[in-house]
Amino acid sequence: MEKAEMPLFGSAKLELTRACNHRCCYCYNDVRDGGNKCAEENCFLSPEEKRRNISTILEKLIELHIQKVNITGGEPAMDKSLLFHTLEDTKRLKIQCSLNTNLSLFTADEISRLCDSGLDSILISFPSHDPKTYDAMTRNKTSFKKVIENLNSVQTAMIPNIINMVVSNLNKNQVYETGGYLATNFGIKRFAATPIVPVIENQLSESLTREEIIKVFDNLLRLKDKHGIKVSTLRPIPWCIFEEPKRYSDFLKGCAAGRSEAYIGIDGNVSTCSSIPHVSGNLFKEDLSQILIRIAGEYDDKRIIPDECLPCPEASRCRAGCNAESQLVNKEKRSKQPYFFAPLKDKVFSPKKIKINFLGSGRIIFDGDSEILEGSSSQEYLFSAFGNRTPINETERAILGTLYQRHFLTGIPLTQIVKDYSLDAHRLDRFLNRLASKEIIRYQESK
């Protein structure tokens, strides 16, 4: 097979277990219904077999130059031995690694160990600042206090993190208060509010209306203005839900199904998304590249963007919102999303034709889902962000990594980074303007 035929998957979600100490009403692991069946998932595998599977999966990802992994579950801390083995492997293979967790099962020493493991970031599920609402949504009455303790430990260990609040009918009026509580008491820098993605019938009653979803994002913007934190959402929403899409640019993203990320179980099953149960293949039984090619074909734009969306100039970037929800509601893949309103008449983001002074007092805005992907040769990569892609070389790749870690995440001024790394300021400015003109990065002027 020619290398050029390989789709550009830049990352993978790796599910260590389906077991969890929470039974969240919004969880995509629908096997929880009717008893905690997920606790028995993969029980036929011995600890040694699980570790061996993880190592093999990671090596197969490296073979395809997939160097970004998100460890997820279930709750990965249900099997801490396997979790830390996985972190050791990702560090050995120089794979960028993040962790999804509810944070309730770790000790303070284990959080320090997470920091020492080379973990790049943690996504923490936190449905409410109100203990009663938290208990009702997680169906666990013992976790809230421990999570609060561990939030302090994470901040002390300075592990980059983002708090995600899944929003349903139970907590839809607590977004602003929860974000404010976290910013004030823990100094969090990144907060996401994600309207529930129903994946089984009995979750449909927890779905929000169009007006309620817009209110969620309005509250996020209020938090951004008051506390200066970065706000986002983890699910794609049809862009046409907004009357003024540009105002909500922090939340505009497209469905990633078939494009940039694969979901892999410890048993080797590969699918396109955690919220879509269809398994496209098993990497222990066939070549992973063939499975990814199959996924890319199954979720090609022509197979998921419905006719109603085709007149929209942003159709290929929005991709009609969350396909998992469309499939549940309409019983078919290529169908109108429940929140579809009307095709946009104009593009939301127009190419920037004015020159930006990147070495001024503002800051670069990176897409939280940006990827650096394999290019057409060993000397070239593709930088993918905000629905666009552009070729970059090895030097530019290293520069982007530095800017993301030191400027975007920690706020160090570009002028200081230029000085610290002896960069050519004019060449850097030209490079960043090239990315901005292609809508790959954005720039925010200082107030």
Grouping H, G, I as helix, E, B as strand and the rest as coil, residue 154 is helix
pTM of the model: 0.79
3-state secondary structure string, 82-96?
HHHHHHHHHHHCCCE
Beta strand 121-125 with 161-167 is parallel
pLDDT digits (tens, 9 = 90+) for 247-272: 998 999 888 888 778 999 999 999 99
Which range, 119-123, 200-204, 360-364, is most confident? 119-123
Give the number of C-alpha atoms closer than 13 A to the C-alpha of residue 74, restricted to the C-beta side: 26
Average pLDDT of 82-90? 97
Q: What is the strand order of the sheet 371-374 is part of?
A: 371-374, 380-385, 388-393
Bridge partner residues of 54 (DSSP): none
Bridge partner residues of 393 (DSSP): 380
pLDDT value at residue 116: 92
**Tokens linked to 200:** 């089984």
pLDDT at 24 over 60: yes
Residue 106 CB partners (closer than 8 Å, separation 6+): 77, 114, 150, 153
d(CA 214, CA 237): 10
pLDDT value at residue 257: 85
- Largest CA-CA distance found in the chain, in angstroms, rounded: 62
Grouping H, G, I as helix, E, B as strand and the rest as coil, residue 388 is strand
The answer to whether 275 and 324 are in contact (CB under 8 A) is yes
Phi-psi region of 69 (alpha: psi -120 to 50; beta: other; left: phi over 0): beta
pLDDT digits (tens, 9 = 90+) for 278-330: 899 999 999 998 999 899 889 988 999 999 999 999 998 899 999 999 998 99
**Tokens linked to 293:** 């090619």
pLDDT digits (tens, 9 = 90+) for 230-252: 999 999 999 999 999 999 989 99
pLDDT digits (tens, 9 = 90+) for 340-357: 999 999 988 765 555 778
pLDDT at 64 over 80: yes
pLDDT value at residue 376: 53
Grouping H, G, I as helix, E, B as strand and the rest as coil, residue 324 is helix
d(CA 409, CA 160): 8
Least confident of 42-51, 95-104, 137-146, 344-353: 344-353
pLDDT at 8 over 50: yes
Bridge partner residues of 50 (DSSP): none
Computed over every residue of the chain, the mean pLDDT equals 87
Contacts of range 416-420, beta carbons closer than 8 Å, 24 or more positions apart:
418/359
Which range, 221-225, 384-388, 393-397, is most confident? 221-225
Residue with tokens 């946009």: 344
pLDDT at 2 over 60: no
d(CA 370, CA 440): 9
Q: What confidence category does residue 1 fall into, taking pLDDT thresholds of 50, 70 and 90?
A: very low
